[in-house]
Amino acid sequence: MLKKVDAAQLKIGMYIHDLDCGWMDHPFVRARFELTTDEEIYKIRTAKIRGVVIDCSKGLDVDDAPTLAQAEAATEAEVTAIAAKPLVITRVSLGEELARAAQVRKQAVGLVRTVMADARLGKAVELEKVGPVVESITESILRNSGALLGLLRIKNKDDYTFLHSVSVCALLVAFCRSRNMDEDTIYQAGLGGLLHDTGKALVPDAILNKAGRLTDEEFDIIKRHPRDGYDILLKTPEIGQIPLDITLHHHERRDGSGYPDKQCEGSISELAQMAAIVDVYDAITSDRCYHKGMSAAEALRKIYEWSKFHFNPTLAQEFMRCVGIYPVGTLVLLESGRLGVVIEPHETSLLTPKVNVFFSTKSQGYIKPQTVDLSKALGFGGGDKIVRHESPEKWNVNPMQFMNIA
């Protein structure tokens, strides 16, 4: 039986099934092992790992600890209650914005690729080229955030670094917009999001794309990228304080466990804290060379759990409402047994979006695509309910092909 325990409850003889450390590399070669020394327990606690999953069938038990399923169900209920109401209203339909969003995505990825190449050569970032791209991303988010964010959910593993920067920009713009920030702040935050990983241009590809666990020395090199990026941006004429701050501090955590400066809650700016949440969310929902991306629902549960220590809880909850449990592009299973892709959030409840259904799990085959409004009753374009999110790989389908149907 798997149980979720606090790191303070760990004892020699327990079997570690999962070290819930998210984006951080834990200080062990293996992810699953029996605790045999006090030193191992000390390493877990000093790494600021709070929640740990133990396998009671392989080691000592904790009688009053919840099972993993119980812990996840309780968190899921809290997350659902928080993220049920959307904060952003679209101005145009998904179909109207998809083609423009695809062009924006292509343009932005090309720009980030150029910025990284220039940084390797010691060249300054050309702000006059970056600014218009941030404006295009912002305009697309304002028209229909789901279009661009949905397209950015698809990442080629080889281009992850470039696509991640574009995603963080778009998500941060959407986050700022949902909090009713002024236009200039949104623009400056977008700049910071697009350029936040510029320092990774100086990280060797062998380390950046390593499939296995990083050594301590390799991780130390990775941890230099915020400072390197900051130094690169300092060479850029007229660069603002917000992009510099986001670049330098997007890996800081409120409990002081982040880097490069180990800042604590009171020292980290609001926008850097927002960028930290966005950066982690996009990272854990993306396929990487060393892990499979989570669904949005799973990622929000992690963000919520980690906000007890690493993130500002209020900002984390606002971000959850901003992106929602079922973002545009999410593959979902309905009670009818049909698979559909989310194409539009409902104005008052993110649990009842519009979906394009296209596959029957009962007949194991494609069906005539149809738009279903889950907020409506049977006979009025609805009459179905989301059971859970699904993996496209499980069913060998590409939901993005069905995001825009008549």
Same domain, 188 and 282: yes
Residue where one domain finishes, among candidates 280, 304, 323 = 323
Q: Bridge partners of 19?
A: 52
Same domain, 240 and 384: no
Q: Bridge partners of 264?
A: 255
Give 403 or 87, the one with higher predicted confidence.
403
Tell me the average pLDDT of the chain: 89
Same domain, 341 and 213: no
Q: pTM value?
A: 0.88
pLDDT at 296 over 90: no
Same domain, 337 and 397: yes
Same domain, 13 and 34: yes
Q: Among 6, 233, 7, which residue's Cα sits nearest to residue 116?
A: 233
Same domain, 159 and 55: no
pLDDT above 90 coverage of the chain, percent? 55
Token pair, residue 20, equals 């819930």
Cα–Cα distance for residue pair 404/343, rounded to 1 Å: 8
Cα–Cα distance for residue pair 179/315, rounded to 1 Å: 10
Domain-embedded: residue 105: yes
Contact 181, 172 (CB under 8 A): no
Q: Among 189, 268, 192, which residue's Cα sits nearest to residue 230?
A: 192
pLDDT tens digits, one per residue of 93-113: 888 999 999 999 999 999 999
Same domain, 339 and 283: no
Same domain, 380 and 279: no
pLDDT at 34 over 80: yes
Can you give the residue range of the structural domain that contains 355? 331-402
Domain-embedded: residue 84: no
Same domain, 306 and 252: yes
Same domain, 190 and 277: yes
Domain-embedded: residue 357: yes
Q: Residue 205, exposed/middle/buried by CB under 10 A (0-12, 13-18, 19+)?
A: exposed
In this prediction, residue 102 carries a pLDDT of: 94
Domain-embedded: residue 74: no
CATH number at residue 126: 1.10.3210.10
Same domain, 285 and 366: no
Domain-embedded: residue 309: yes
Domain-embedded: residue 237: yes
- Report the length, in residues, of the chain: 406
Contact 338, 397 (CB under 8 A): no
Residue where one domain finishes, among candidates 304, 323, 342 = 323
Contact 13, 60 (CB under 8 A): yes
Number of domains in the chain: 3
Domain-embedded: residue 77: no
Residue 380: pLDDT band (50, 70, 90) is low
pLDDT at 91 over 90: no
pLDDT at 359 over 60: yes
User: How many other C-beta atoms can be found within 10 angstroms of the C-beta atom of residue 149?
Assistant: 22
pLDDT tens digits, one per residue of 208-247: 888 777 888 988 999 999 999 999 999 998 999 999 999 9
3-state helix, strand, coil in the chain (%, to 5): 50, 15, 40
Highest mean pLDDT: which range of 45-54, 83-92, 261-270: 261-270
Residue where one domain finishes, among candidates 263, 289, 323 = 323
pLDDT tens digits, one per residue of 246-293: 999 999 999 998 999 999 988 999 999 999 999 999 999 988 776 778
In this prediction, residue 23 carries a pLDDT of: 46
Cα–Cα distance for residue pair 196/279, rounded to 1 Å: 9
Same domain, 347 and 319: no
Domain-embedded: residue 161: yes
